[in-house]
Copies of this chain bind each other. A is one copy, B any other.
Amino acid sequence: MALTQLTVVDTAVGILQQFGLADLSMRRLAKELDVQVGALYWHVKNKQELLAQVAAQLLNTPALSVAAADYESPAEAILQLARKLYLALLPIQDSPEVIEVATAMQATELQPVLQLRALLEAAGLAAENARHGQQLILNHVLGSVAYRQNLVQLDVDAPLADGFDWGLQRAVSGLIG
């Protein structure tokens, strides 16, 4: 099987899902693909760019979008989108870190993040404020996922209600009161 950008990224996603970011090294990735480490650098510039593509692969899926028409208000659509994101990222070890790398490079456009902004504008926020509101909500989603994953990792039995949803509701109501 020929080594392509796609197979590299796909395999990286697999390692991330099964073992977490600590195990997603270039060397481990090469081993999984039966190839020398150096070969990877022909298909991907460096690890940072690889992680950005991994994030894109995780987030740019139709499963992580909402049809605005399905909800009676933009606020409802925003809540649902944020919840979808939260639930999708929770089972993927260290996903917040990976997504932060991607948004930091802002090289790849992450679809759910764009939709979040669009919905905030649809709710009546000016373009600039929609960007800031997107930040607030994304910070809360990623922060809550990271917090929850750390609890799991340390075998603290977390309360099922981790407060994500309560905080989300308060944030959205503050944004488009």
Copies in the complex: 2
Bound Cα distance from A175 to B135, whole angstroms: 17
Partner of A144, one of B135, B150, B173: B135
Q: Does A109 contact B (CB under 8 A)?
A: no
- A138 touching B132 by the CB < 8 A rule? no
| In contact, A140 and B136 (Cβ under 8 angstroms) | yes
- Contact among B100, B106, B138, B170 with A175 in the assembled complex (CB-CB below 8 Å): B170
Contact with B along A106-142 (1 / 0, CB 8 A): 1000000000000000000000110111011011101
A117 to chain B, nearest CB (A): 12
**Nearest-CB distance from A52 to chain B (Å)?**
12
Known: A135-B167, A136-B140, A173-B174. 20 other contacts (CB 8 A): A103-B147, A103-B150, A104-B150, A106-B156, A129-B163, A131-B163, A135-B144, A135-B147, A135-B163, A136-B170, A138-B143, A139-B142, A139-B143, A142-B143, A143-B143, A170-B175, A171-B174, A172-B174, A173-B177, A174-B175
A residues whose Cβ falls under 8 Å from a Cβ of B: 100, 103-106, 128-129, 131-133, 135-136, 138-140, 142-144, 146-147, 150, 153-154, 156, 163-164, 166-167, 170-175, 177
- Contact sample, A vs B, 8 pairs, CB 8 Å cutoff: A128-B163, A132-B166, A133-B167, A133-B170, A139-B140, A139-B143, A140-B143, A143-B143
